[in-house]
Amino acid sequence: MDVACLYSGGKDSTYALYVAQQRGWEISNLVTVVPESVESMMYHVPNLHLVSKLSECLGIPLLQKAAGEGEKGELDALRSILKDAGVDGIVTGTIMSDYQKSRIDRVCNDLGLKSFSPLWRRDQANLLDDYLLTGFKILIVGVAAEGLDRSWLGRELDEKARQDLIALSEKTGVSLCGEGGEFESLVIDGPNFQKKLEIMESTVEWKGSSGVLRILQAVVSLK
């Protein structure tokens, strides 16, 4: 099956891509929509400027388009890319968001494409285990929840971070996969990466009780 993958560079879309590859599907393209608003409910936003480098790391061509204003603009951008992509369907990393899944499904239905969400409704603790056991190197690049302070920005999502997230979730109800927007991630290496991404320069932007790690310079290097 020839499919595209809706890709942000975060852990969920990267793992969904990996699952599709493990099933033997041909991933012809990565698809990235760049929303106009940082408050987009449809798409991951932090450090989207790195997806072209991650495309090189993964060895998969990238189709990217800037979205117009609002939900309509965001869905029109996705529709425009998929219409000309020449694929049978699209893989997404959505886990819990009915808002996101229903709209992607609608776009695919309009175009006669299949919509695949291999992580849909998976247990989030199990997903975290899978991310780590599979060998992805994941950095936390955005936080917006009680208990996730600026020390989390740039932190690798390793076994210690996993344990800390579980403890925090038990205390405050934070989603273990950040499904409520509690945190955002960036994958810089993994089992399906031909090359890896190295962060050379970054800066923390903190406002109130939330913040983002802005990647200012990154290079693609051999593993």
Kindly report, residue by residue over 75-129, the tens digit of the pLDDT: 999 999 999 999 999 999 999 999 999 999 999 999 999 999 999 999 999 999 9
pLDDT of residue 42: 85
Ordered structural domains, the chain, with CATH: 2-116 (3.40.50.620), 124-222 (3.90.1490.10)
DSSP single-letter state for residue 192 = T
DSSP single-letter state for residue 182 = S
pLDDT band at 41 (very low <50, low <70, confident <90, very high): confident
**Mutual angle of helices 124-134 and 159-172, in 10-degree steps:** 170
- With H, G, I as helix, E, B as strand and everything else as coil, classify residue 129: helix
Cα torsion angle, 144, 150, 155, 158, sign: negative
pLDDT of residue 45: 77
Average pLDDT, the chain: 95
Residue 59 has pLDDT above 90, yes or no: yes
Radius of gyration of the chain (CA): 17
- 55, 139 in Cβ contact below 8 A? no
pLDDT band at 144 (very low <50, low <70, confident <90, very high): very high
pLDDT of residue 162: 96
Instruction: Compute the distance between CA of residue 19 and CA of residue 165 in angstroms, rounded to an integer.
Output: 24
Instruction: Compute the distance between CA of residue 50 and CA of residue 184 in angstroms, rounded to an integer.
Output: 14
pLDDT band at 62 (very low <50, low <70, confident <90, very high): very high
Q: Write out the DSSP string of 7-43.
A: --SSHHHHHHHHHHHHTT-EEEEEEEEE-SSTT-SSS
Instruction: Compute the distance between CA of residue 135 and CA of residue 189 in angstroms, rounded to an integer.
Output: 8
Pick from 71, 88, 87, 86: which is nearest to 33 by CA? Answer: 71
Pick from 82, 68, 75: which is nearest to 42 by CA? Answer: 75
Q: Number of C-alpha atoms within 13 angstroms, CB side, residue 151?
A: 4
Which pTM was predicted? 0.96
- pLDDT tens digits, residue range 15-40? 999 999 999 999 999 999 999 877 78
- 139, 154 in Cβ contact below 8 A? yes
Q: Write out the DSSP string of 60-124.
A: --EEEEE--SHHHHHHHHHHHHHHTT--SEEE---SS-HHHHHHHHHHHHHHT-EEE-TTTT--H
Instruction: Compute the distance between CA of residue 61 and CA of residue 202 in angstroms, rounded to an integer.
Output: 26
pLDDT of residue 190: 98
